[in-house]
Structure 1
Amino acid sequence: MSAHPASGRTVHLSASGEDARILPDELGGFVLEIGGAVQSHVDPAEPTAIRYEYLRRVANVLDGVAPAGAPVRVLHLGAGALTLPRYVQATRPGSAQTAVDLDRELVSFVLAELPMPAGTDLDSVVADARLAAVDLLMDGERFDAVVLDIGTGEDGAEHLRGAAFYGELLGLLTDTGALLVNIGDDDGLRFLAAELGALEAACAEAGVPGPWTLASADMLERLELGNAVLAAGPALRAGAAPGGTPSDADGDAGPLTPAALLARGPHPGAVLDEAESAALARRIGGR
């Protein structure tokens, strides 16, 4: 059992108009429900155990943006139950992290129910993700990783997707940073293809590698609904040196190469490089 028992109380989120609560998960840890739908899973007692496959793929990239254990700066656009900030704190103590969420009550609720470990450097910002990103960009802030994890499907907020927004996020990266975008899509994956094209255009404008696509192999082969992670930025170039090896027993992810990321799972998975991602987008468009 976790050392952080949640109270089971409910809080109303003023921005979304939904109710949120945190409940014990029968398999261990806790789940965050918003509007009755499970949004996040977290286990404060074992923060490196990540239940959702797409978050595990994000974590794999975060493992490779700097040497193992080295502190990094991470911007999280979308807070959830702070699953990734907990992971970064556990694997890279001393990291400086910023979590942005539009719901004023969410982060304070999560922290009250499931506190972060002592010594965590986490700055919580209540704001629209794009406005916050632009403010940080204008202030000259730079991050080793920017994670965009907001429900922005075809019915989501248009200003939180597209080449212009992705270009702003790429501008927030350090010279070895990575942008990670969670894309949830329905059968056919047409939204994924559109966002691949938008991110490809943003990368070309910024002069950085990407996008790569990380997802379930079945999802990409069958073009069926699911979550894919798009990765882009200078970190992909930095990790592309020949002779690298996949992860080792000490937990070092090794270079950010498709082979290294694929080896870290979840399985069966797929990691498509820039050319393969472009080919995927063409295949989807040809249906």
Structure 2
Amino acid sequence: MTFGEVELLHDLDRADGWMLSMGGVPQSYVDLDDPTYLDFSYVRLMAEVIDCLPEGPLDAVHVGGGACTIPRYVSATRPGSRHIVIEPDAGLVQLVRDQLDLKSVPRLKVRVTDGRAGAAALADASADLFVLDAFSGATMPVELATAQYMAEISRVLRPGGTLLINVADGKGLPFAKRVAATVEETFAHAALLAEPGILRGRRFGNVVLTASPAELPVGPLTRRAAGGLTQARCVAGDDLTKLVAGARPIRDGDAVLTPVPPPDLFG
């Protein structure tokens, strides 16, 4: 099954760069020659978080496969890492296997199932890194943003493990703030990273949330985010609490208004 029309577009500026688009929405970018090249700004922010983690290989779970950009990056920068990719779209998985050399990523297993069932099947305290980058069109599925699902992720993470979430939102960030409130309720430590224009609600875009049972490297992450190509802000601690003040955590069954991108966002 394939959820919508999938396109692979060759990047004319890079010999082996490919954009994966679903239903007209760009989903992933990979450079098969250089997996450390990251085209999307939010993916670069995720990489900044990963680069701040203690050195060495990681046991990683990825909900939302796409072209497996982050697994490729982690394998290139942390040899010996192991990956479980959870992706419900069997057609997409086959396309990536056939066209984007998925077999070149060592120690990677793909499980074709949805994010809730896939996480439920994982062992307790089995992951150092849990990446949640799942989208239906341009929106994160609400069932992957609830307190119940965050509790499942918390069960899977090791005591020093790290969660990364990609959320898209617009003016005022109402959805992202609710997801952040849900994360804060579950994890002892959390931070939010976004470009200033998105953080101020001036334009629709991606917000990266990170959380852990253990203390996050907020200082190094703040410096890296501000000094990187994306030039983002890192909001943590009391500042994050103030940012999400009044936003209610999301629970299974809640009626949630999900953000809709402006019609001209993707050209």
TM-score bucket (shorter structure):
0.7 to 0.9
Q: What letter is aligned with 1:37? A: V
Partner residue of 1:252?
A: none
Is the aligned partner of 1:27 residue 2:16?
A: no
Q: Give the aligned partner of residue 106 of structure 2.
A: 120
Counterpart-to-counterpart distance in 2, 1:41 and 1:238: 27
Correspondence 1:248-263 to 2 at 5 A: 257-263=220-226
Structure 2: tracts of 5 or more residues without a match: 249-267
Alignment partners' CA distance in 1, 2:189 and 2:205: 24
- CA separation in 2, counterparts of 1:170 and 1:154? 26
TM-score by length of 2: 0.84
Question: Aligned partners of 1:161 and 1:238: how far apart in 2?
Answer: 21
CA distance in 2 between counterparts of 1:21 and 1:59 reads 25
SS in 2 for 1:150: coil
Residue 225 of structure 1 aligns with an amino acid whose one-letter code is: F
Q: Which amino acid aligns with 2:96?
A: V
Q: Find out whether 1:91 has 2:77 as its counterpart.
A: yes
For residues 192 and 214 of structure 1, what CA distance do their matches in structure 2 show? 11
1:111 to 2:97 alignment: yes
Is residue 66 from structure 1 mapped to residue 54 from structure 2 by the alignment? yes
Does the CA-based 8 Å contact 1:164-1:202 persist in structure 2?
A: no
Which stretch of the first structure deviates more once superposed, 72-81 or 21-30?
21-30
In structure 2, the partner of 1:195 is 179
Question: 2:7 and 2:116 mapped to 1: Cα distance?
Answer: 26
Q: Of 228, 231, 234, which aligns to 2:210?
A: 231
Say which of 199, 209, 221 aligns to 2:189: 209
- Mark the runs of 5 or more structure 1 residues left unpaired by the alignment: 1-13, 241-255
CA distance in 2, matches of 1:82, 1:162: 24
* Residue 232 of structure 2: aligned partner: 269
Shift of the alpha carbon at 1:224?
A: 3.2
1:77 aligns with 2:63: yes
Match of 2:124 in 1: 140
CA root-mean-square deviation = 2.4
- Verify the 8 A CA contact 2:86 2:111 in the aligned structure 1: yes
Q: Output the amino acid matched with 1:169.
A: I
Shift of 1:270: 0.2
Q: How far does the alpha carbon of each residue in 1:121-140 deviate from its partner, in whole angstroms, 9 at most, with x for none?
A: 1000000101110111xx33
Match of 1:4 in 2: none
Alpha-carbon distance, 1:117 to partner: 6.3
Deviation at 1:155, TM superposition (A): 6.4
Cα pair distance change 1:154/1:170, threshold 3 Å: farther
**Aligned match for 1:54, one of 11, 21, 42:** 42
Distance 2:145 2:75 in 1: 28
**Quick one: structure 1 residues 99 and 264, their matched pair in 2 at CA, closer, same or farther if it must change by over 3 Å?**
farther
User: How far apart, CA to CA, are the structure 2 residues paired with 1:82 and 1:202?
Assistant: 27
Query: Which 10-residue stretch deviates more, 34-43 or 180-189?
Result: 34-43
Whichever residue aligns with residue 104 of structure 1, its letter is A
Aligned length in residues: 246
SS at match of 2:61: strand
Identity of aligned residues (%): 30
How far the C-alpha of 1:66 sits from its partner, in A, is 2.3
Shift of 1:209: 1.3
State the partner residue of 2:262: none
Distance 1:284 1:217, change over 3 A: farther
Scaled by the length of structure 1, the TM-score of the pair is 0.78
CA deviation profile, 1:142-194 (whole Å, cap 9, x unmatched): 11100000126996533211222112112211122100111101222110111
- TM-aligned CA distance change 1:163 to 1:110, over 3 Å: same
| Amino acid across the alignment from 1:53 | S
User: Which amino acid in the other structure matches residue 195 of structure 2?
Assistant: S
Q: 1:181 to 1:119 in 2, by over 3 A?
A: closer
- CA distance in 2: counterparts of 1:101 and 1:186, whole angstroms: 26
Structure 1 runs (4+) deviating above 6 angstroms are: 152-155
Deviates most, 223-232 or 77-86: 223-232
The 8 Å contact of residues 185 and 226 in structure 1, kept in 2 or not, is answered as yes
